Amino acid sequence: MSAKRRADPRATGRFEREGRTFFAKVVEIDAAARLDAERDGLAALASTSTVRVPAFFEEGSDDERAWLLLEWLELGPLDAAGGAALGADFAALHRVPQKRFGWERDNFIGGSAQANGWSDDWLAFWREKRLVAQLRLAAKNRLPSKTIDRGERLAADCEAFFRHYTPAKSLLHGDLWGGNAGQLAGGTPALFDPAVYVGDREADLAMTTLFGGFPPDFHAAYHAAWPLDDGYRVRRDFYNIYHLLNHANLFAGGYVAQAQAAIERSLAEIG
């Protein structure tokens, strides 16, 4: 990244320069890799010509900070029509053919590092790079041993969820909660703050049910465009354990109990 000597952002948020409006993301220089990963994720989503994301304009740095300038999008919450449009767009994104599971670089899920790499085996990728990675972090963070022990049992036995199901290879947003989606004044939906990788589309859809923010029209439109497998409702809890463990590792509190409950529901499904 090249250092810039003209007016540069000092804080994350709306930024005006030379008569143009941008959204500036500013981090300490040691966290510059986060901005590189976000830029690459937005580029990957934009390359599919399926979902609206903010355009990239510039990266820069000085001795203390790094910044990313993106298109400023004036976004409001999704309404019924915007949710339906996003559901159709999201299905189109997931239908774009991909060659392998994983991603070419590591990135970030919220405040946590997210390891990637390429794999031909979806379950092996998810188990090691997502579920087991969070369980190892949970042990380091001294979360309850029962959560870790039961999570490890689930990791060992989770192939049961895939005996009659073979996931398609889909480009995922990777961090799709309601706070990372909105719509423009004309009704066009948009996504931002991705944690992209190629995986099972069900993992993306599962997260949209975890923290709210998506109207029923979103799910109805997605299902109409590309119906989900009958086993999705069983695997939904299994996939959301990753995000619940991540939140437990970051924030502790009630997320620990939520992660434990999701692990127990998934183990009950296995029997």
Determine if residue 13 is left, alpha or beta; phi over 0 gives left, psi from -120 to 50 gives alpha, anything else beta. Answer: left
Out of 175, 193, 200, 204, the active site residue is 175
Q: How many CB atoms lie within 10 A of CB 268?
A: 9
Q: How open is the CA angle 110-112-116, to the nearest 5 degrees?
A: 105
User: Is 175 a catalytic site residue?
Assistant: yes
Residue 237: DSSP 8-state? H
What's the token pair of residue 267?
């183990």
**Phi/psi of residue 88, nearest 5 degrees:** -65, -40
What's the token pair of residue 77?
């919450």
Name the residue type at position 140.
K
* Residues noted as catalytic: 175
